[in-house]
Amino acid sequence: MIKKLRKAVLPVAGLGTRFLPATKAIAKEMLPVVDKPLIQYAVEEARAAGIELFCMVTGRGKTALVEHFDVAYELEHTLRERNRTEALAALAASHTEPGSITTVRQQVPLGLGHAIWCARAFIGDDPFAILLPDDLILSNKPCLTQLAEAYGETGGNIVAVTEVPREQTNRYGILKVGRDDGRLVEVKGLVEKPAPEDAPSNLSIIGRYILMAEVIEYLALMQRGAGGEVQLTDGMAKLIGKQPFHGVRYEGRRFDCGDKLGFLEAQVAFALQRPDLADAMRGFLKNYV
């Protein structure tokens, strides 16, 4: 029987060094694309896929991430008094069910695998999603919904995958591919950041996963991988052969918002989707290029 997917882990304890000095005192996941912080895009995408419970893995200086999902009583009271209905509506999407967000602390950023292991008590024996909020995806159907549909078909572990230029395989987790129907790919192996000449394919994992709780047992071994970090990819690789493991070529465009250029491109792409901004944005862009 395929267990229902209700939980998501949001690792937000990274240092965000590529975005200094912006990320000195605030988390990278609080940076807005147009008018919404990255973390809110992730929570909304997860909710659309049926997620009810969230665990943020946080670190130093990340309190704003938690506060963002609180009721801002004074602000909302003032807006109500001033009849600012539009502004109130803009806040509504940041409200969450009481008790639906928990946090755990990753005191030292030892890697993504370590961050997920920090959420072990929240995960328990249940399947869970992971969303890396700095990977932002513009799509017709939310990316995690596409993964959840595949999970409903195959059960087991699912990762979102996309083709990357061969010379960039050393930046990503890369798949060794088995059967491939163009959308669903059987995962035969996984390698974190292989050199282009060693990469088993150019199909890379992006920041959306559905994993089985057993991955925690392997992460608990605390084996250091690429970059001296505890890599999630290495833990996931241990599940291959023991449980179903598939990649989904998702429909949509992904922006790496942890990177300056990716973040700037996301601003343009998301603004051009907004009826209230698209025409003005197009006008600007013509002036600059």
Which residues contact ligand UTP (rule: CB under 6 A)?
A: 11-19, 28, 57, 106, 109-112, 114-115, 132-134, 258
Alpha carbons 220 and 208: distance in angstroms, whole number: 21
Least distance from ligand UTP to the Cβ atom of residue 44, Å: 17
CB closer to ligand UTP, 69 vs 154: 69
Alpha carbons 133 and 257: distance in angstroms, whole number: 8
CB closer to ligand UTP, 17 vs 287: 17
CB closer to ligand UTP, 14 vs 281: 14
Contact 257, 266 (CB under 8 A): yes
CB closer to ligand UTP, 17 vs 83: 17
CB closer to ligand UTP, 63 vs 78: 63
Number of H helices, E strands in the chain: 11, 13
Least distance from ligand UTP to the Cβ atom of residue 124, Å: 20
Query: Position of tokens 């493991």?
Result: 245
Least distance from ligand UTP to the Cβ atom of residue 186, Å: 26
Alpha carbons 160 and 149: distance in angstroms, whole number: 12
Least distance from ligand UTP to the Cβ atom of residue 90, Å: 25
Beta bridge partners of 101: 54
Least distance from ligand UTP to the Cβ atom of residue 222, Å: 12
Least distance from ligand UTP to the Cβ atom of residue 285, Å: 27
> Which two tokens mark 256?
């790496």
Which residue, among 137, 101, 127, 100, has the nearest Cα to 210 in the 3D structure? 127
Q: Which residues have CB under 8 Å from 105's CB, separation 6+?
A: 13, 57, 58, 59, 118
DSSP H stretches of helix in 61-186: 63-67, 73-81, 85-92, 112-117, 120-123, 143-154
CB closer to ligand UTP, 134 vs 281: 134
Least distance from ligand UTP to the Cβ atom of residue 13, Å: 3
CB closer to ligand UTP, 79 vs 173: 173
Residue whose C-beta lies closest to ligand UTP: 14
